[in-house]
Structure 1
Amino acid sequence: MDPEMPLLTLDDLGVLRDVEVRENGSVLVTITPTYSGCPAMATMRDDIAHKLQDHGYADVEIVTSLTPAWSTDWISEEGLRKLRETGYSTPGPAPERTSGPVPLTLTVKPRQLTCPQCSSRNTRLTSEFGATLCKAQYRCDDCLEPFDHVKEI
């Protein structure tokens, strides 16, 4: 599970890039952080290692891959469904990337999102940051409910 959004598995989130069981029985797991310096990476590595060890894999190696950089486009359909069902506004398509450094903007351009509670488009940005850097806070002016929006990265 993702420590910052425990309703999602690491596979749902697209962080789990590859799992290889080697001929000698060891396991190599490749993960990609949602952003450089993600504070949840150590917890993710520990959780993966413990889960595999609980299932009998004693020799576990977990590597971090920074390229290609993670994108919200990697969130699975199941992950998007879980986000919607629990009241999150899901990200739209990520900005198109070119080669070279990945542009990362943690500010949000205010826009009309669909309220995950009542489906109204009468919504507004209340804070560029939610509980984590990857979320923004919005409010629906029809049902008056606040909601998190997962930013496009």
Structure 2
Amino acid sequence: MSSKLHQDLYVGVIVIGVSIFLFIKTFGLIEEAARYPQGLLVLFTLFGIFIILKGIKKTKLLREGEELKYDGDEAPLNIKLLKSPLITLAIVVVYVWLLSFIGFFPATILFMASYLGYMQVKSWKAYVFTIVGLNLFIYLVFVMQLNVQLPAGIFFE
């Protein structure tokens, strides 16, 4: 008898934990503004519960010695499978950290250039059109039309 737990149990617990953490963070918002994210987080918690229930069934099958069949894109988690999402998460964390220091537009330029580089985009035209197009779109829609104040950073204070 194996004491191995199926990966879905870990994933479900993480989903529920993150949902509860973010739900608590919504208490600082205005009541009307908090309703939508709270509703989504309750939904995510329910999905986490469903994942855990499926994980319990799969764990029972594993402990009985049955081999699980994985369909489609589903596969057992391993470090090779998690490498790309973790690198992407690291790039996003650095981007969020840079926002307060150098401002939205310089941080976005660095983020897009580094992410396109990580995704092995070779065309310099793709870099230019993507970076310029995204920043121009955000500037015209959010700054000019909607008057959203984006982080200025040290360059635009």
TM over 0.5: no
TM-score (norm. length: structure 2): 0.30
TM-score (norm. length: structure 1): 0.30
Q: Which structure is higher in helix share?
A: 2
Structure number with greater CO (CA < 8 Å, separation at least 6) is: 2
Q: Which structure is higher in strand share?
A: 1
